[in-house]
């Protein structure tokens, strides 16, 4: 819970929504340290940001260390667990955990077979990776909001966001990776000419003879504009949908924790806040699973569209 003696509610919320950011501050930047002292940088300096203002001043090259670190950590757990299960599945009677993992793999594989009509050995493993990895990252939202940040603060790390999917850089990064695969398959499977033809002859048919030829250039430009907008909207919708839902869930957890801290000590507010946290966590389990499932399904659907000839 927030401690009002050290932070206001507003400061508490801002603190929990700030990433641990590493980047380069430009020369001449007036930096305020944690003690409130101000000094001007004589040279460009690579350092950790002391808040959102410094993170913004670092610009595009800034790195959210906590988001990347937790994403890689959870991805490593996913890879290790599935590697161990793959080894155990080769011999002996499978355990309950092995059976559960096999059920997940079979579920995703069946989804891929039903929804993907092309031929690719990458789509099913990619869908499995997206589903499990995003599920693990989403699951971190159920950890009480103060536990891990407080533990890192005790060793001198001022900021620590532990839910990578509440960072648009992570969700849009995954969406862009899917988008690149979409373009790759569109060019390699359909061919550059057929792909360009799809972009310029849909949704409005382009006349190839007669008086309608006058309107053909206009229709080609209009079709290309509409198709490109629709194509670019796919990665944005894929990444922002996941980010928006998880960020909203995290914000509610933080607001409940801030609400319960207002009275200080233990009392009615703390019990009420604890009940709210538990109720929202139970409901949020559905969001955690559903958002991972939606990202996986849309990944399969978008890649399948890249294989289809219109």
Per-residue model confidence as pLDDT tens digits over 21-46:
999 998 888 887 777 778 888 888 99
Which token pair is 275? 């009940």
The pLDDT of residue 170 is: 96
- The answer to the question of residue 18 being in a domain is no
- The answer to the question of residue 72 being in a domain is yes
CA 232/CA 219 separation, integer angstroms: 20
- The answer to the question of residue 35 being in a domain is no
Q: Spot the catalytic one: 31, 120, 169, 241.
A: 241
- The answer to the question of residue 170 being in a domain is yes
Active site residue 138: no
Distances (CA, A) of 5 to 11, 148, 208, 263, 299: 11, 20, 75, 11, 47
- The answer to the question of residue 120 being in a domain is yes
Q: Give pLDDT tens digits for 251-306.
A: 999 988 887 666 555 566 667 777 888 888 899 999 999 999 999 999 999 999 99
- The answer to the question of residue 34 being in a domain is no
Active site residue 113: no
User: Strand 30-32 relative to strand 38-40: parallel, antiparallel, unpaired?
Assistant: antiparallel
Q: Do 100 and 82 touch, CB atoms closer than 8 A?
A: no
What pairs with residue 39 in β-bridges? 31
CA 240/CA 71 separation, integer angstroms: 17
User: Strand 21-25 relative to strand 45-48: parallel, antiparallel, unpaired?
Assistant: antiparallel
Residue 147: count other Cβ atoms within 10 Å of its Cβ. Answer: 10
More confident residue, 92 or 107: 107
Query: DSSP character for 205?
Result: P
Q: Spot the catalytic one: 67, 112, 245, 306.
A: 245
| Domain around 298 | 66-307
How many distinct structural domains can be found in the chain? 1
Q: Do 278 and 91 touch, CB atoms closer than 8 A?
A: no
Average pLDDT over residues 76-93: 84
Average pLDDT over residues 93-108: 88
Active site residue 237: yes
- The answer to the question of residue 115 being in a domain is yes
Q: What percent of the chain has pLDDT over 90?
A: 55
The pLDDT of residue 120 is: 86
CA 100/CA 135 separation, integer angstroms: 15
CA 65/CA 158 separation, integer angstroms: 12
- The answer to the question of residue 207 being in a domain is yes
The pLDDT of residue 242 is: 96
The pLDDT of residue 90 is: 67
């Amino acid at each position: 819970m927030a401690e009002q003696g050290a932070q206001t509610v507003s400061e508490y919320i801002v603190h929990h929504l700030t990433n641990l950011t590493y980047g380069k501050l430009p020369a001449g930047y007036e930096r305020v340290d944690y003690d409130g002292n101000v000094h001007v940088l004589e040279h460009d300096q690579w350092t950790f940001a002391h808040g959102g203002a410094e993170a913004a001043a670092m610009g595009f090259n800034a790195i959210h260390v906590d988001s990347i670190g937790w994403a890689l950590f959870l991805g490593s757990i996913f890879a290790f667990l599935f590697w161990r299960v793959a080894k155990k599945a080769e011999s002996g009677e499978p355990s309950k955990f092995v059976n559960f993992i096999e059920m997940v793999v079979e579920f995703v594989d069946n989804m891929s077979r039903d929804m993907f009509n092309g031929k690719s050995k990458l789509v099913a493993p990619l869908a499995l990776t997206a589903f499990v990895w995003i599920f693990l990252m989403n699951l971190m939202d159920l950890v009480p909001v103060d536990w891990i940040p407080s533990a890192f603060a005790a060793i001198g790390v001022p900021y620590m966001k532990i839910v990578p999917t509440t960072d648009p850089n992570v969700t849009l990064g995954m969406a862009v990776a899917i988008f690149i695969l979409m373009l790759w398959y569109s060019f390699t499977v359909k061919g550059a000419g057929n792909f360009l033809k799809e972009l310029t002859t849909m949704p409005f048919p382009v006349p190839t003879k007669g008086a309608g030829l006058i309107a053909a250039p206009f229709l080609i430009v209009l079709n290309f504009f509409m198709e490109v907008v629709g194509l670019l909207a796919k990665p944005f919708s894929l990444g922002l949908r996941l980010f928006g839902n998880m960020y909203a869930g995290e914000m509610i957890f933080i607001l409940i924790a801030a609400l319960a801290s207002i009275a200080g000590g233990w009392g009615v507010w703390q019990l009420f806040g604890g009940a709210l946290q538990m109720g929202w966590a139970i409901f949020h389990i559905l969001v955690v699973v559903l958002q991972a499932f939606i990202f996986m399904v849309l990944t399969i659907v978008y890649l399948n569209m890249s294989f289809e000839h219109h």
